[in-house]
Amino acid sequence: MTNGRLINSIDQHREEIVEFLQKLVQFNTEVSEYGRIGNEGEAQEFVADYFKKMNLEVDVFEPDNKRIRKYFGFMPGHIYKNRPNVVGTLKGKGKGRSLILNAHMDTVPAGPVSEWKHDPFGGETENGRIYGRGVVDDKGGLTAAIMAVKAIRDTGISLGGNIILESVVDEEGEGNGTLSCCDRGYKADAAIVVDSIDPITDVWVAHPGVTVFRLKAKGRPGHYCLKYTPQQGISAIDKMRVILDGLDKFQTERLAYIRDREYFPRVPIIGVDKICGGEYRAVFPESCYIEAGFDYFSSEIGEKHDDSLIREKIEERIRKIEQGDNWLRENPSSIEWLASILPVIIDKQHSIVRVLKDNIEKIAGCANLVPGKTTNDARHLFHITNVPVISWSCGGQAVHGIDESIEIEDLIKATKILALAIKDWCGGK
């Protein structure tokens, strides 16, 4: 009976749900400089006003770098003037389990607007889809979370436990927004991070960690024509290639001792996303540096809440590779650690997994428990507040790409799934 009321209410408010997402997309909330600078303020003000209309307890606050810099994973140098988090709490009667729903307002840049068929900030619809930057990542998820709680309100369902709705900033810049929510004391019996790039049927029960570093190799300048002579130069780019080839082999070797392969079946990845070397034509480059991300899994850090063991393994392997090269043995590379995202894992039998999975099956027909392909803010909830956390969202296409879009039907289904999960988890009547 209660389930039917929720589903009917969401169906009746279908147009309102679509319009809400369109409104969010029409706010340009792009971040720049990897999240150091953002533009979420106006959109967050809109959300705060909406929460007030829903009669939620509303908390609006800007991340405080001085407070949160003590936490592992803090990203320094980001500016939060007019970039507030907005948290809305629906109080329960105190006899049920509490739940955090976390989603982010910021988006990556739209890129070349001329390549979009649809205005990236228009929220346009075509053939049953909504288009726009962030419609998948993560304004669709944020909309589903907010509208699910609104459905609970609209139907007069009374909850036993609290619902905490977190609309956060700076997820794309490594998560200081959620970090500050944790620091502010927001905690629950479980959390769903409504942020995923997978289909609506897929629940993330884990995601890998990644350590980001800058590696610099040395060379010796000299004219190309002197190669194979006693006066030859040494190419720093060639020496970097030696190191990278060795690290690629290391990735495969690690499979032998990764214990949580059930959660992380794929080969861990080293992703080089920047390379710089060379000063002039016909001259062997004196230096070359890369910036890269190194995947790792939960069993590789044990009970630690930092990446120190992974850093040790990476550096140890690089030095071993260098010992096999005459030049690198005497001229080792230098490493600078730039950032780290910790892995997340949850028991597949945990009750929050079962609750969400059961309701996905009811609405979408089937559900799969999968490892996340990438990372999100779940790590802060997991490692800082020790909250059991899973990730899931509405699905979609072209995330971070041109003509990012989501099916309207999946948005409505996601809203229903979350509303039913809230009712089941928090003890709704």
Query: Where in the chain are all domains bearing CATH 3.30.70.360?
Result: 209-341
CA distance 21 to 385: 30
Q: Which residues of the chain register pLDDT less than 50?
A: none
SS3 142: helix
**Residue keyed to tokens 């147009």:** 15
Contacts of 10 (CB under 8 A, 6+ apart): 17, 147, 148, 151, 412, 415, 416, 419
CA distance 198 to 200: 7
- For strand 99-104 and strand 190-193, is the pairing parallel, antiparallel, or unpaired? parallel
CA distance 336 to 275: 14
Specify the pLDDT at position 153: 96
- Cα–Cα distances in Å, from 358 out to 293, 327, 420? 35, 59, 10
| Surface-to-core class of residue 10, CB atoms within 10 Å of its CB (0-12 exposed, 13-18 middle, 19+ buried) | buried
CA distance 192 to 254: 30
Look up the CATH superfamily of 2-207+344-426: Zn peptidases (3.40.630.10)
Contact 254, 197 (CB under 8 A): no
CB count within 10 Å of CB 115 equals 11
DSSP code of residue 128: T
Query: Of 4, 62, 15, 38, which Cα lies nearest the Cα of 408?
Result: 15
Query: What are the pLDDT digits (tens) for 234-280?
Result: 999 999 999 999 999 998 888 777 777 788 877 778 889 999 999 88
| Surface-to-core class of residue 429, CB atoms within 10 Å of its CB (0-12 exposed, 13-18 middle, 19+ buried) | exposed
Specify the pLDDT at position 88: 99
Specify the pLDDT at position 12: 98
Q: What are the two backbone dihedrals, phi and then psi, of residue 222, each rounded to the nearest 5 degrees?
A: 175, 155
Please state which of the four CATH numbers 3.90.1170.50, 3.40.50.170, 3.30.70.360, 3.40.50.970 is assigned to the domain occupying 209-341: 3.30.70.360
Q: Quick one: tokens of 347?
A: 């028991």
For 361-409, the DSSP string reads HHHHS--EEEE-SS--THHHHHHHS---EEE-----B-TTSTT-EEEHH
CA distance 348 to 204: 10
Query: What are the pLDDT digits (tens) for 370-420?
Result: 999 889 999 999 999 999 999 999 999 999 999 999 999 999 999 999 999
Query: Where in the chain are all domains bearing CATH 3.40.630.10?
Result: 2-207+344-426
SS3 57: strand
CA distance 224 to 67: 53
